[in-house]
Amino acid sequence: MTEVRDYSNLIGGELRPAADGRTLDSVNPATGEVWATIPRSGATDAAAAVEAARAAFPRWSGMPAAGRAHYLRKVAEVFAANAKELAELETIDNGRLITETAKRDLPGMTYLWTNAAAECAAAVEGRSVDFGPGSQGLTRREPYGVVLGIIPWNSPISTLSAKAAFALAAGNTVIIKPAEQATVSSLRVGELLREVLPPGVLNIVSGLGEEIADPMVRSRGVDKVSLTGSVGTAQIITRASAESLKPLALELGGKSPNIVFADADLDRAAPGVTTQAIFTANAGQICYGGSRILIQRPVYDEMISRMTEIAAGIRLGDTLSPDTTMGPIVSAEQYERVTAYLEIGAKEGAELVFGGRSGAELVDEAHAGGYWVEPTLFATSDNSLRVCQEEIFGPVAVAIPFDTEEEAVALANDSVYGLAAGVWTRDLGTAQRMFRRLDTGTVWVNTYRKVMFPLEGTKDSGYGNDSVLAYTREKAGLFEF
Ligand code: NAD
């Protein structure tokens, strides 16, 4: 049994427990053991965080862009210097494999914060329009004020950083509310940044969404809310923010199609759709997971056979071992949800191609208390099934055959979601037509899950993104002399 450590909120430059002292347990999803406690914050803590962020705003927003850039470069250095520890905490906290957190996530954070530092100047660039002699139009970009970033559990450090870095670069002060299932890495970031950023510029408060985030969403002291999370939470936040007409950014779920044409290079497409896009990609717990695999009929059987072989080699177990290739489901609640879909798929009549098992039988004794589901592939030609339409957010995908490009487009767009899509083809014409016709925010061609631009969805995948411009608004002036 590991020693249980207590973590605190960061409010106004101080590390504080919840005002009423309440805590929540944090569970390692690979073992089921409690390994840390986090504050279960409430309305008093929400008010304190808003007050601290408001107090810090005039000085932070009034600072020259180069001053903010200096601070953000120091943050990047902190991430680089503490990458090993943060990667391990993130792995223990939410089950992302150490191979992901140490090799992909943390190096990416140093780049992200450095990039945000470089964008500080662009964040305050305005436009100048000449309306004729003696009449000049000017715009200036201004921060919103206090930004509340509400983040999910599946990738806390990356999501915290994407929101905080760009919002801070633009001159806002920030409050981050991590997800209760995986909070520790965010609170540790708060400890590390406490003396790096001026007090109140970045605040991190933990607890349940309805107890700590909701009062801040309603507060007139918060000027913009950026949520990365589920559609249900987005709807609650939209209603809660209505009274103060707050600007929102909603980065939500997906049921992304990954489309393999008959002319594709199957040596790339088979691992691409099986590992890069879904199963070993955080056990399918990624918003843009390619969970609907559309395969053109001439290569359907060949693809299924290759995917089955690749999936058979996926190893579950110790998340801190470099030999493990797939981790657990994040929590008992999410495990119940994902395993329910194993039954739903079978009851709906989808054919089980591989997988379908869950629980302790998949791992060694040391990990028997964790939340394990094996890579599972259903097959059907009926895209209306629940396993084809609903976001499962686990290692469960569905294969769907198609004949023509027209049919692929129709199937791909037949979803309430529009986050991302993958296209595998050797034909540039096919790739370009698909890029235009797919109703999603991102299209990857012959690759998947490489995020180079801010993610933004269509339809129920939400709107808004995490970029420096998205955290500013443009003020217009007309000067006549
Ligand atoms: P969730 O919606 O349950 O929780 C997200 C956050 O909202 C958490 O911090 C939670 O505490 C908070 N919250 C819950 N109720 C609230 C309320 N009443 N008021 C204010 N805040 C509240 O999502 P999750 O289960 O943590 O994450 C999984 C979801 O996130 C999936 O749908 C996934 O697709 C989505 N996601 C999207 C992206 C993207 O960039 N589009 C990235 C990662 C995850």
Q: Has residue 424 got a pLDDT over 60?
A: yes
Query: Would you call 126 exposed, middle or buried from its count of C-beta atoms within 10 A (0-12, 13-18, 19+)?
Result: middle
Q: Which atom of ligand 1 lies closest to the CA of 287?
A: 34
236 lines ligand 1 (CB under 6 A): yes
Sign of CA dihedral 52, 55, 60, 61: positive
Task: Report the alpha-carbon distance of residue 325 to residue 319 in Å, rounded.
Answer: 8
Indicate which residue's Cα is closest to atom 23 of ligand 1: 229
Range(s) for CATH 3.40.605.10 in the chain?
5-252+462-478
Taking the centre of ligand 1 as the mean of its atom positions, its distance from the CA of residue 395, in whole angstroms, is: 18
Threshold 0.75, pTM exceeds: yes
DSSP state of 82: T
Q: Catalytic site residue 480?
A: no
Residue-level pLDDT at 42 = 98
Taking the centre of ligand 1 as the mean of its atom positions, its distance from the CA of residue 151, in whole angstroms, is: 6
Query: In this prediction, what percent of the chain has a pLDDT beyond 70?
Result: 100
Pocket test of ligand 1: the residue of 24, 38, 150, 417 to mutate, having most ligand atoms within 8 Å of its CB, is 150
Range(s) for CATH 3.40.309.10 in the chain?
257-452
Q: Which atom of ligand 1 lies closest to the CA of 334?
A: 25
* Matching CATH number, 5-252+462-478, of 3.30.420.40, 3.40.190.10, 3.40.605.10, 3.60.15.10: 3.40.605.10
Residue-level pLDDT at 453 = 86
pLDDT digits (tens, 9 = 90+) for 118-156: 999 988 899 999 999 999 999 999 999 999 999 999 999
Query: Would you call 450 exposed, middle or buried from its count of C-beta atoms within 10 A (0-12, 13-18, 19+)?
Result: exposed
230 lines ligand 1 (CB under 6 A): yes
Residue-level pLDDT at 207 = 98
To the nearest whole number, what is the mean pLDDT of the chain? 97
Q: Which atom of ligand 1 lies closest to the CA of 207?
A: 11
Q: Has residue 1 got a pLDDT over 60?
A: no
Give the helix ranges, DSSP H, for 395-427: 405-413
Task: Report the alpha-carbon distance of residue 106 to residue 91 in Å, rounded.
Answer: 11
Residue-level pLDDT at 447 = 97
150 lines ligand 1 (CB under 6 A): yes
374 lines ligand 1 (CB under 6 A): no
pLDDT digits (tens, 9 = 90+) for 224-277: 999 999 999 999 999 999 999 999 999 999 999 999 999 999 999 999 999 999
Residue-level pLDDT at 2 = 64
Kindly state the average pLDDT of the residues 402-422: 98
Query: In this prediction, what percent of the chain has a pLDDT beyond 90?
Result: 98
Smallest CA-to-CA distance from 158 within 94, 66, 208, 249 is with: 94
Taking the centre of ligand 1 as the mean of its atom positions, its distance from the CA of residue 85, in whole angstroms, is: 25
441 lines ligand 1 (CB under 6 A): no
* Matching CATH number, 257-452, of 2.40.160.50, 3.40.50.1950, 3.40.309.10, 1.10.287.70: 3.40.309.10
